[in-house]
Amino acid sequence: MSDAPTRPVTAVILVAAGSGQRLGYGMPKAAVPLGGDPILLHALRGIVAAGVAGQVCVALPPGDDGLRQMLDDFRLELADGGPLLTTVDGGATRADSVRSALAALEDGTEAVLVHDAARALAPESVFHRVAQALAAGALAVIPVIPVVDTVKTVAATTGEDSDIAPELVTGTAPRDELRAVQTPQGFSFATLKAAHEAALQFDESRAAAVTDDAMLVELLGVPVHAVRGASQSLKITTPLDLIIAEGLLEGPLGARWVEG
Ligand code: C5P
């Protein structure tokens, strides 16, 4: 008999309920076209291709019928044996969206990967590294990449225009200890549930400062493990990011892209 760890029953939560204001398209970011298809469709294809999940639960902007229709069409496209594809209405914050999806996962789910739809080009290899670390017994796993810029901390600015009232630098973080954190982030179901339940006690400003799931798990004192991410998992946030993502998909680099 093999000693290899058995794979937990895994679900992916795909959070796609953000407004995408910084992209400036006047529509939810998940619906913005990338290479002719909505960002959300690219993210879904990546998850299905990775083959790590029995269920994919997508948190959608409430009331967005276009994205719901797109998901219905994608469900029909999925070959037999593809993951169960479900949806929930997203919440006011990303953490609210994750919580809604967590509550809607199938009974018996043992592991959860939480993925930003905005990281639409995350390669299969990153899903595999995260899922493998979970299967090997980690309770929390995040994909990371090295930081290339020098990173400074600053005092919160009081001026309205930071060009006129520059921020005061308070320190320089040691770059070799810094990592930029991506998704999919993987957790045991029980760990992620406990982390999000604890966060329900946060006041509004603390809740607004929650930018990923791992930071909630860290607060529980659960060890979080880092595996190698990939630079093509960029989070499409600004118009420049969209240009880069288009370039990765369609440009001459796309065909030769091998990283990760
Ligand atoms: O806003 P931010 O860039 O942190 O969003 C990261 C991801 O979380 C995006 O894919 C976005 O759609 C999702 N999100 C969500 N519900 C919210 C806010 C963000 O599902 N209320």
Q: In sequence order, what DSSP letters do the residues of 20-70 get, joined into one string?
A: -GGGTSSS-GGGSEETTEEHHHHHHHHHHHHT--SEEEEEE-TT-HHHHHH
Per-residue pLDDT at 145 exceeds 70: yes
Per-residue pLDDT at 7 exceeds 70: yes
Q: At 135, which amino acid appears?
A: A
pLDDT digits (tens, 9 = 90+) for 36-75: 999 999 999 999 999 999 999 999 999 999 999 999 999 9
What are residue 254's phi and psi, to 5 degrees? -50, -45
Is the CB–ligand 1 distance for residue 23 below 6 Å?
A: no
pLDDT digits (tens, 9 = 90+) for 173-206: 999 999 999 999 999 999 999 999 999 999 999 9
Using pLDDT thresholds of 50, 70 and 90, give the confidence band for residue 162: low
Is the CB–ligand 1 distance for residue 97 below 6 Å?
A: yes
- Range 210-220 average pLDDT: 96
SS3 content of the chain, % helix, strand, coil (to 5): 40, 20, 40
CA of 215 to the centre of ligand 1 (A): 16
pLDDT at 220: 95
Using pLDDT thresholds of 50, 70 and 90, give the confidence band for residue 224: very high
Per-residue pLDDT at 149 exceeds 80: yes
pLDDT at 44: 97
CA of 49 to the centre of ligand 1 (A): 22
pLDDT at 130: 98
Quote the pTM value.
Answer: 0.93
Using pLDDT thresholds of 50, 70 and 90, give the confidence band for residue 251: low
CA-to-CA separations, 158 to 165, 172, 182, in angstroms, rounded: 8, 21, 31
- Range 104-130 average pLDDT: 97
pLDDT at 172: 97
Ligand 1 atom with the shortest distance to the CA of 30: 12
Residue 59 pairs with which residues in a beta bridge? 15, 88
Is the CB–ligand 1 distance for residue 61 below 6 Å?
A: no
- Which residue's entry shows tokens 């590294």? 129
Q: Closest Cα to atom 5, ligand 1: which residue?
A: 18
Is the CB–ligand 1 distance for residue 18 below 6 Å?
A: yes
CA of 80 to the centre of ligand 1 (A): 30
Using pLDDT thresholds of 50, 70 and 90, give the confidence band for residue 19: confident
Using pLDDT thresholds of 50, 70 and 90, give the confidence band for residue 24: confident
Closest CA relative to residue 141, chosen from 176, 105, 103, 188: 188
Whole-number mean pLDDT of the chain?
91
Q: Which of 97, 102, 182, 185 to mutate to test the pocket of ligand 1 (most atoms within 8 A of CB)?
A: 97
- Which residue's entry shows tokens 């029909």? 76
Q: Which of 15, 27, 39 to mutate to test the pocket of ligand 1 (most atoms within 8 A of CB)?
A: 15
Fold exhibited by the domain 10-145+179-257: Spore Coat Polysaccharide Biosynthesis Protein SpsA; Chain A (3.90.550)
How many angstroms separate the most distant Cα atoms in the chain?
Answer: 69
pLDDT at 4: 59
CA distance 239 to 23: 5
